[in-house]
């Protein structure tokens, strides 16, 4: 059956409201010595709850199977052995796939991927209701640093442990709609969502591990939650899509990370938000037609976008000089 992205219903009848049961499974802390088996047991329990509430899909966090290990300086052999997955599924994660097939529920899962030829990525997968991996995403906006900062209270070594994702921002038709995925820091960048909304994504799902403290400057801690929600809400609205974000949060061996897992509507409004810093399932019946209101009017891309004026976005990485020095001169006050 062809997917009608206007309603997601496959009927072509725009009056039919298509409700998509979407769950986000926030995780409380995963400590350094917690086993994969124990972590997967927690995920299975939340998958069962999500299904019992009518979810078609459940969203798990970034690097969901282990502690947020980029906070630790370790040698490659140790980090590879302890935290990376050479295969997905694996013996430890297979129960997630088995339960998903049994419950007929899809899921998104973040984990550290070690490829057969030794490349390392911060990765997520989309799994359909038959437990088939239908899409993979490798994180593109890697935050942090690659050098050891012995004076910092903790490290953020994503640039040491992971390569930049090499597969772009794809979207996937599954569960009767079109879903895009990204990971954590990607959610702060408008390009992430725009590239997916230009492929007619209706839902963007993501997981995150956001430390509550900034090791580079004394950022007021409340800004971490504010910027997290601001990013989800602004980008949901500006792209006419649903955004579902799953935290791993609370204090992992004393290192605190924000909660605030949320489901955001294309209106930019938060329709569900986690209250705890523990394992917690939030749920919303999402109207997949809601974004159309915006995409047909104020954000009618085909009608209103002006890509000929956006060239710098792909030509430049960092900020530089004004486009035209002569144009600038004419606007400068004369002496």
- Size of the residue set binding ligand CDT (CB under 6 A): 8
Alpha carbons 268 and 281: distance in angstroms, whole number: 21
Helix (H, G, I), strand (E, B) or coil at 136: strand
Of 281-300, binders to ligand CDT (CB under 6 A) are: none
- The answer to whether 183 touches 124, Cβ cutoff 8 Å, is yes
7 versus 124: smaller Cβ distance to ligand CDT: 124
The one catalytic residue among 62, 252, 277, 280: 62
261 binds ligand CDT (CB under 6 A): no
155 binds ligand CDT (CB under 6 A): no
Q: How far is the CB of 135 from ligand CDT (least distance, A)?
A: 20
Alpha carbons 209 and 98: distance in angstroms, whole number: 26
The one catalytic residue among 139, 252, 277, 292: 139
249 binds ligand CDT (CB under 6 A): no
**The binder of ligand CDT chosen from 48, 82, 136, 188 (CB under 6 A):** 188
185 binds ligand CDT (CB under 6 A): yes
> Can 129 be counted among the known catalytic residues?
no
**The binder of ligand CDT chosen from 181, 210, 239, 261 (CB under 6 A):** 210
184 binds ligand CDT (CB under 6 A): yes
152 binds ligand CDT (CB under 6 A): no
- The answer to whether 256 touches 213, Cβ cutoff 8 Å, is yes
Write out the two tokens for 16.
């039919």
208 binds ligand CDT (CB under 6 A): yes
Residue among 133, 106, 88 at smallest CA distance from 47: 106
Q: How far is the CB of 113 from ligand CDT (least distance, A)?
A: 15
54 binds ligand CDT (CB under 6 A): no
Where is 285: in which H helix or E strand? strand 280-287
Q: How far is the CB of 28 from ligand CDT (least distance, A)?
A: 17
Q: How far is the CB of 134 from ligand CDT (least distance, A)?
A: 24
107 versus 162: smaller Cβ distance to ligand CDT: 162
Residue among 61, 81, 60, 79 at smallest CA distance from 71: 79
The residue whose two tokens read 């437990």 is 131
177 binds ligand CDT (CB under 6 A): no
Query: β-strand 242-247 against 262-264: which pairing, if any?
Result: antiparallel
> Can 252 be counted among the known catalytic residues?
no
- The answer to whether 205 touches 175, Cβ cutoff 8 Å, is no
The one catalytic residue among 113, 158, 182, 184: 184
Alpha carbons 52 and 95: distance in angstroms, whole number: 18
Site string for ligand CDT, 61-100 (x = CB under 6 A): -x--------------------------------------
Write out the two tokens for 330.
């004419």
Query: β-strand 177-183 against 203-208: which pairing, if any?
Result: parallel
149 binds ligand CDT (CB under 6 A): no
Q: Which among 19-27, 203-211, 292-300, 327-335 is the span making contact with ligand CDT, rule CB under 6 A?
A: 203-211
Q: How far is the CB of 81 from ligand CDT (least distance, A)?
A: 21
Three-state SS annotation for 66-120: CCCHHHCCCCHHHHHHHHCECCCCCCCCHHHHHHHHHHCCEEEEEEEEECCCCCE
Alpha carbons 296 and 124: distance in angstroms, whole number: 31
Of 31-50, binders to ligand CDT (CB under 6 A) are: none
> Can 167 be counted among the known catalytic residues?
no
Q: What angle do CA 203, 208, 209 make, to 5 degrees?
A: 175
Instruction: List contacts with ligand CDT (CB under 6 A).
Output: 62, 143, 184-185, 188, 208-210
List active site positions: 62, 139, 184
């Amino acid at each position: 059956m062809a997917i009608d992205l206007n309603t997601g219903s496959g009927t072509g009848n725009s009056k039919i409201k298509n409700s998509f049961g979407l769950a986000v499974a926030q995780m409380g802390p995963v400590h350094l010595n917690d086993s994969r088996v124990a972590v997967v047991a927690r995920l299975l329990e939340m998958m069962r709850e999500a299904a019992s509430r009518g979810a078609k899909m459940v969203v798990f966090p970034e690097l969901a199977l282990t502690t947020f290990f980029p906070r630790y300086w370790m040698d490659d052999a140790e980090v590879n052995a302890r935290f990376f997955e050479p295969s997905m599924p694996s013996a430890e994660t297979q129960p997630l796939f088995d339960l998903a097939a049994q419950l007929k529920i899809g899921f998104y899962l973040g984990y550290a991927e070690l490829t057969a030829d030794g490349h390392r990525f911060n990765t997520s997968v989309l799994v359909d209701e038959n437990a088939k991996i239908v899409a993979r995403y490798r994180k593109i906006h890697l935050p942090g640093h690659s050098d050891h900062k012995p004076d910092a209270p903790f490290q953020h070594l994503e640039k040491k442990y992971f390569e930049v994702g090499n597969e772009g921002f794809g979207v996937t038709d599954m569960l009767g709609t079109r879903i895009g995925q990204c990971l954590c820091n990607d959610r702060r960048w408008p390009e992430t969502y725009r590239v997916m909304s230009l492929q007619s994504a209706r839902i963007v799902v993501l997981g995150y591990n956001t430390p509550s403290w900034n090791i580079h400057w004394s950022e007021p801690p409340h800004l971490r939650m504010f910027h997290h929600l601001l990013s989800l809400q602004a980008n949901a609205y500006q792209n006419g899509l649903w955004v579902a974000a799953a935290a791993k949060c609370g204090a992992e061996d004393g290192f605190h990370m924000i909660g605030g897992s949320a489901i955001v509507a294309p209106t930019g409004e938060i329709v569900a938000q986690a209250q705890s810093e523990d394992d917690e399932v939030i749920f919303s019946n999402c109207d997949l037609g809601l974004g159309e209101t915006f995409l047909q009017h104020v954000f009618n891309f085909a009608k209103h976008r002006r890509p000929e004026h956006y060239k710098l976005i792909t030509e430049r990485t960092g900020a530089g000089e004004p486009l035209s020095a002569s144009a600038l001169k004419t606007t400068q006050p004369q002496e």
